[in-house]
A and B are shown apart, each in its own frame.
Chain A
Amino acid sequence: MQAIDVGKEFYHRLANRDDKQGDGKHTGVEFRNRFLSHLNNLEAWKSPSEPIILDFKNVKKIGPSFASEAFGYFMKYVNPEEFLKKIQFINISGVHLMIIKEELESAYKGK
């Protein structure tokens, strides 16, 4: 499956949360609705399908609030391990992957 170049197809600064917060454009909610909206139901996660590959080579930064809105939202359907099987991150720095994983864990625990 072709990877989504997040930096080019979306934005290189992944920091904003939700347009309701007055953060501006390129929010986590916008990302989720644009690239992952088909996963917004339990069946989509249970049915076997090819993983979605997100390429972070052109991403400069990712904030925890963005990660929470864009990826943590799906913790109501799956746990972090299942999520990372379905959505794969490539060319991502260790720090950015750690932020995403921490947000997934935190959103799953509801803390």
Chain B
Amino acid sequence: MRRISDKRRAFLIRSQKRLWLKQRRHANIRRHQKYAHQIFKKKHREYFETKETRERLRRKLYIASYNAPPLQVPITGEFGIEKSASLDYFLQTASTFIDFNNKHLTFELSNCTRMWPSAITLLCSLMQWVELTTRPPKKRRKPQIASTPSNSDKVNSYLGHCGFYDYVKRLRDTKQDYYSDEEIVKIQRETTPKNIENREDEIIGLLSKYSLFSPDQIKLFDSIVLTEAFANVTEHGVSYVDKGWWVLAQYHITHAIISLCIADNGIGIRHSLMTGPQAPDISQEVDNTSSNDGEFIKMALEKTVSGAIAAPQKKNGFIVKGYARGVHRGNGLRRITDTCKQLEIPFSILSHYGYAFVDKNGIINKYGSMPSRIFAGTLYHMVIPARKELQNASN
């Protein structure tokens, strides 16, 4: 054994002691942080409870196994909610495949004559839904989703042009492009709220170029409708895990409209309201069942109800219940509806089983629920009046 000097021995003892003190200091910091977090959790108990409830609910919604025999979904004619004539067909068709549990899902598009942006958003949300339900550690078999090409070259071209084929990582069916890049805000995989500002700028650019709105009207639309819609969407679609949110806007020259879709794959309006602090009050008015999804959307559009984690409770007033002065009130969807009414924009919401269509006068002309889901999350859709002069010029 080697002999060490006293000096060396003292040095080793000192360094050992320093290391021990450092470890003790770090242990104390960790203990303090743990304690501080416990205190913080206790102080904001409702906030954490709501968050945990929503996460549990989300996990419950993700339970899906894809074992059933292959399913073919034929899509004929126009598919989307942009035109009122095809609304019922869209709702019926969407309800047949959003909750699918088949090994293979094939969209038969050969007789499809038009895919509207709302339909593209629906398919992208479905793709993301499947990805979320089969994400590790869940060892579920991933279903195969495919589509046949359409007999219409324009449909095939549009699926490539709008960003859908890039989204699902598929090669384009046709080389011919009928559409201009200036007339679209393409759909893409959005993973961070930092992209919101860019998307807003792109939408504003599209509106400035093609809509009938004045600069002040565009500012109003931007400040209220876009801000509120994006706030709702990112609250549910952005997290540590990419749960999905999408934007797709398209100027349709032949119909003189801009179709704008903003969507997320969140827990939906009903679940959001029923897991928030206002749930006891809301449950007195409507039963918490999927057949009432439409009623919940209508309520969110017409009344000041909030699904926010920090939403306050209404207090008993002289005649009716109301909020205390200065508190956050849950006006988001009502603000969107009012502004759309002011700007004469038809506006619609699809959320899980429910739907509501508001006309340009702000009247809910159709709402209700389907027996199975019609959208994996929540879709906000607007039909913005656009210029016809360009149409005449091109003709």
B383 CB → nearest A CB, Å: 22
CB closest residue in chain B, given A74: B326
Question: Residue B231 at the A interface, CB < 8 A?
Answer: yes
Asked, given contacts A23-B234, A76-B325, A107-B329, whether A99 binds B308 with beta carbons under 8 Å apart, the answer is no
CB closest residue in chain A, given B239: A22
Number of A-B contacts (CB under 8 A): 96
Question: Residue B362 at the A interface, CB < 8 A?
Answer: no
**Residue numbers in A under 8 Å from B287 (CB-CB):** none
Q: How far is the CA of A73 from the CA of B222 in the complex (A)?
A: 23
A72 B223 Cβ-Cβ under 8 A: no
Asked, given contacts A17-B328, A22-B235, A68-B328, whether A63 binds B323 with beta carbons under 8 Å apart, the answer is no
Question: Residue B216 at the A interface, CB < 8 A?
Answer: yes
| Per-residue contact bits, chain A 33-49, to B (CB 8 Å; 1 contact, 0 not) | 00000000000000000
Select the residue from A18, A72, A75, A110 with max chain B CB neighbours within 10 A. Answer: A110
Contact among B227, B228, B235, B325 for A21, CB-based, below 8 A? B235
A99 B322 Cβ-Cβ under 8 A: no
Q: How far is the CA of A108 from the CA of B326 in the complex (A)?
A: 6
Q: How far is the CA of A111 from the CA of B325 in the complex (A)?
A: 9
For residues 1 through 31 of chain A, which have their beta carbon under 8 Å from a beta carbon of chain B?
13, 15-18, 20-24
Question: Residue B71 at the A interface, CB < 8 A?
Answer: no
**Residue numbers in B under 8 Å from A18 (CB-CB):** 308, 310, 328
Besides A63-B227, A110-B325, 12 more A-B contacts (Cβ < 8 Å) are: A17-B328, A22-B239, A62-B223, A65-B228, A66-B227, A72-B326, A73-B326, A75-B325, A76-B325, A77-B326, A93-B216, A96-B223
